[in-house]
Amino acid sequence: MSGVKIAPSLLAADFSRLAEEIARVEEAADWLHLDVMDGHFVPNISFGLSVIENIRGVSDLFFDCHLMTTNPDFFLPELAKAGVDLVTMHIEAVPNPMGPSERARDAGLDFGLVLNPRTPFGGLAPFVELCDVVVVMSVEPGHGGQSFIESVLPKIEEAREWVENRGLTADIQVDGGITPDTAPLAVAAGATVLVAGTSVFRANDSADAIKDLRRAIEKR
């Protein structure tokens, strides 16, 4: 077992049948990734608090909430109340994440920071100690179904080295374009959590698709 966690992204699910879609991954997945978009930080709007609160009632998975919003620390107590376990926010939105991370902790949430594909690791590095998770985006945020950007691989390595050299425990999450072809690349570079939307929810059998990802990682 590699110990790598798989987090299906609900963004690629059929929103007219969310409970059934979640049931397809409930046993096979480790976390459920929830992409919250505000139409301002990214050019798309997805879903928010009431949807999260409703799906909390049909899943026992760890809820990993990726905030693609301009003011990601506005709704932290509400997110915790809705059933979120972990919030991740973009360093591009919170260049000084000390306050937001404290407010997340105060709300009882795990905390993580996210890097866009073109954002260097350097600006986030001083804040890794605040993080349970460091997220490297491997697509431009805003939409599912895009191709994995291979040029982020050195940044994944950099984040992993930073964490290991300091004896930290943060997970390294890689988000976007994860398939059985790209998952082994991300894991070889140091990923410990893989977010996969399209390759899981658009598959005929989502549990099988998760198993395919695990097999691809083991084989590497």
Interface map 48-87 toward ligand DX5 (x if CB under 6 A): ------------------x---------------------
| One residue of 61, 107, 175, 177 binding Zn ion per CB under 5 A | 175
- Interaction of residue 35 with Zn ion, rule CB under 5 A: yes
Of 11 and 104, CB closest to ligand DX5:
11
Query: Is residue 77 classed exposed, middle or buried when 0-12, 13-18 and 19+ CB atoms within 10 A define those classes?
Result: middle
- Residue for token digits 């349970």? 132
Q: How far apart are CA 5 and CA 205, in angstroms?
A: 19
Which two tokens mark 186? 């991300």
Contact 218, 3 (CB under 8 A): no
Of 44 and 54, CB closest to Zn ion:
44
Which two tokens mark 70? 């301009």
Residue 132 falls in the annotated catalytic set: no
Binding at 77: pick from Zn ion, ligand DX5, none (beta carbon under 5-8 Å per type): none
Q: How far apart are CA 171 and CA 135, in angstroms?
A: 8
Kindly calculate the radius of gyration of the chain based on its CA atoms and give it in whole angstroms.
16
Binding residues for ligand DX5, how many (CB under 6 A)? 22
Q: Which residue stretches of 107-175 are H helix?
A: 153-165
Of 163 and 200, CB closest to ligand DX5:
200
Of 84 and 220, CB closest to Zn ion:
84
- Interaction of residue 180 with ligand DX5, rule CB under 6 A: no
31, containing H or E segment: strand 31-37
- Interaction of residue 112 with ligand DX5, rule CB under 6 A: no
Q: How far apart are CA 70 and CA 90, in angstroms?
A: 9
Interface map 58-77 toward Zn ion (x if CB under 5 A): --------x-----------
Residue 174: CB minimum distance to ligand DX5, A: 10
C-beta nearest to ligand DX5: residue: 197
Residue 66: CB minimum distance to Zn ion, A: 4
Residue 14 falls in the annotated catalytic set: no
Q: Residue 1, SS3?
A: coil
Residue positions annotated with a catalytic role:
35, 175
